[in-house]
């Protein structure tokens, strides 16, 4: 959800919203906000993939320990 707000803030700058960068041109602030939103999207994708790989790794370790102990596995 923060990404949507960042995109909205980028367009509000074009409509005259005040920014923390008064010495920058409006177009520069707009593109900085767009870049920040895109970086947030890419970071979210990477974080989800990283968390999923941790869970898959934990599942593999658990299944391997079941096999080592001779416990029947249910998939």
pLDDT profile of the chain (75 residues), mean per 10: 81 84 84 91 86 89 78 64
Q: Hey, CA dihedral for 38, 39, 40, 41, is it positive or negative?
A: positive
Angle between helical axes of 26-69 and 2-14 (0-180°, round to 10): 170
Whether pTM > 0.85 for this model: the answer is: no
Q: Give yes or no for a contact between 38 and 10, defined as CB atoms under 8 angstroms apart.
A: no
Judge whether 10 and 34 are in contact, CB under 8 Å. yes
CB atoms within 10 A of CB 17: 13
Q: In the chain, where are the structural domains located?
A: 2-70
Q: Check residue 42 and give its pLDDT.
A: 87
């Amino acid at each position: 959800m923060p990404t949507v707000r960042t995109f909205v803030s980028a367009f509000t700058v074009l409509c005259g919203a005040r920014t923390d960068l008064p010495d920058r041109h409006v177009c520069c602030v707009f593109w900085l906000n767009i870049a920040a939103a895109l970086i947030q999207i890419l970071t979210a994708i990477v974080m989800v993939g990283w968390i999923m790989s941790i869970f898959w790794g934990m599942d593999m370790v658990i299944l391997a320990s079941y096999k080592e102990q001779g416990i029947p596995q249910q998939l």
